[in-house]
Amino acid sequence: MFKNNSVVIPPGGGKHLTEASGQVLSMKLFGRETGGSVTLFEQAVPAGSKNSWLHLHRDSDEIAWVLEGEFTFKIGEQVIAGGPGTCAFLPRNVPHAWKNSGTGPGRVVFLYTPAGAGRFVEEMVERPDEGELKKRLEESGWEVLGPNPL
């Protein structure tokens, strides 16, 4: 971080986390670095892989921007598919889920604003044990509603 609170992450920079599912998160901006304004990361997603739950965020809006591959999003009652360039706004308190519905790997940029819901993703870099997982989800404003229906 610079003296004026700006943050610049070079290509390939940031913190990286590989999940058991094979998804790779490249954390670019942490809430603690942006004064709580945003959390931003890129996620590489193998074909057929999806997020774990149908869920909502009580305190943050989420934006998903597809860079590569084909993704399906469930946002409320709508189910929408899109490829590179697709941008989805996932408002706070609206249930949502997603999956890579293409035949190849995909990449998506996710942004949370304010950074609240992104705290959970940031903390995943620390690899919390299962006992801490639900507690950290709730503290970060996530509400798990059930399994991913996609």
Query: Is the full-model pTM beyond 0.85?
Result: yes
pLDDT tens digits, 47-56:
999 887 899 9
Residue 55 pLDDT: 92
Q: Where are the alpha helices (DSSP H) in 22-72?
A: none
Question: How many residues does the structure list for the chain?
Answer: 150
Q: For residue 7, is it left (φ>0), alpha (ψ between -120 and 50) or beta? A: beta
* Mean local confidence (pLDDT), 9-27: 86
pLDDT tens digits, 61-101:
999 999 999 999 999 999 999 999 999 999 999 999 999 99
What's the pLDDT band for 122 if we cut at 50, 70, 90?
Answer: low
**Residue 119, CB-side half-sphere exposure with 13 Å CA sphere:** 21
Distance, in Å, from the CA atom of 38 to the CA atom of 109, rounded to the nearest integer, reads: 13
* CATH number 2.60.120.10 is the correct assignment for the domain at 18-147: yes
Domain ranges of the chain: 18-147
CB count within 10 Å of CB 82 equals: 16
